[in-house]
A and B are shown apart, each in its own frame.
Chain A
Amino acid sequence: MQLTKYPSRSLGFVMSLIAFLSINFCNQSLAQRQSGYELMSPENQRMQNDLNSNPANFWILDGQDIWNSKNNPKEQSCASCHQDPKSTMRGVATKFPLERASKLINLEQQINYCQSERLSSKPFTFESKALLAITTFVATQSRGLPITTHQNSNFLKNAFQNGEMLFNQRMGQLNLSCAQCHEQRAGLILGGTKIPQAHPSAYPIYRLEWQNVGSLQRRLRNCMTGVRAEPFDYGSIELVQLELFLMSRANGMLWETPGVRP
């Protein structure tokens, strides 16, 4: 008797759920990849385009000072080996993460490798102003170039697969995976804004929410906090594998660093 009480309502609910889920599965294909830039207002886009109004420019100028600084035991600067960054650093950020000595490293870790091994200096702390400055300076030299990460080795293939697994894995008290929002529901509206596809093509970014420049790892950790998961540590293997997956997923998209994002 109780089961026959609401037959048409439950059928209606099931039908609309099926319809909703089918719509989402149609959105799943990222054949039309779209940068978060496209979702911004024209004013914020202009702020990103024009380095004279992009606050990240201040970090780039600080980074340039670090590039030229010989204040270390070796009394050498980045410039001592790499000379003109406009040519030597062009196309560098778009290749990371890479394998070095059987470890997967991102651009920040490569910079720290140079700091400790070549300049005999203490590595920069993750997310410090100095590391953000030098990373933004180096990454900006690739503005306009396509992302070109690769997996031309078993090591990188394994790392990519781990990153992919992390991207699709449910996490946190909200029990959500990256894919559920950023692939299945990309373009739908959540909290008044469209969900972006979550491409890494503009990092480090000046985020209006932070009122500061921050790295991709900062953003990933913020997302994990957002689903009430314990975030992976800065520099952890999980975050770098996720970076590799995201960069590969965005292969061919044009580099926008330094980006502005809300």
Chain B
Amino acid sequence: MSKTSRTLITMPKTARKGALIEISVIAQHDMETGFRRTETGELIPRDIIRTFTCTYNNIEIFRADLHPGQAANPQMTFTVIASESGEFQFKWVGDNNYISTNQSFLIVN
């Protein structure tokens, strides 16, 4: 049983060669820490996104390990040098077979 959710990418569509661009990503996920309890006292099991990866023309340029200490609906901002036109692939993998993917194309001139 796999589950997925919405993700949003914010990054420019075009950039000059060699320019530094900023990428922001956000995924819809409750990030259940595993430390909360129900009203009757049972522990609610951990259910979080564990890793996030970003590839640029199939080369990994950013990776993050997430833990229960990450906020719900996790967002991240990072940078990359625009070297050539190409596709950015984004992937979130988490507990209980959670997988979300997204992509964006950058034109470099």
Contact = CB atoms under 8 A, between A and B. Distances in A.
Interface of A: 52-53, 55, 57-58, 61-62, 211-212
20 contacts: A52-B10, A52-B24, A52-B26, A53-B24, A53-B26, A53-B75, A55-B26, A55-B28, A55-B72, A55-B73, A57-B8, A58-B5, A58-B6, A58-B8, A58-B28, A61-B6, A62-B6, A211-B30, A211-B31, A211-B72
A52 B72 contact: no
A119 to B, nearest CB: 25
Interface string B71-82: 111010000000
Chain A contact residues, majority secondary structure = mixed
Nearest to A47: B75
Contacts of A52: 8, 10, 24, 26
Interface string B2-17: 0001101010000000
Contacts of B75: 53
Q: Which of A53, A61, A62, A212 has the most CB of B within 10 A?
A: A53
Interface residues of B, number: 13
Contacts of A211: 30-31, 71-73
A61 B30 CA distance: 17
Contacts of B26: 52-53, 55
Nearest to A55: B73
B73 A58 contact: yes
A260 to B, nearest CB: 11
Query: What 3 A-B pairs come out closest when comparing CB atoms?
Result: A55-B73, A211-B72, A58-B28
Contacts of B10: 52-53
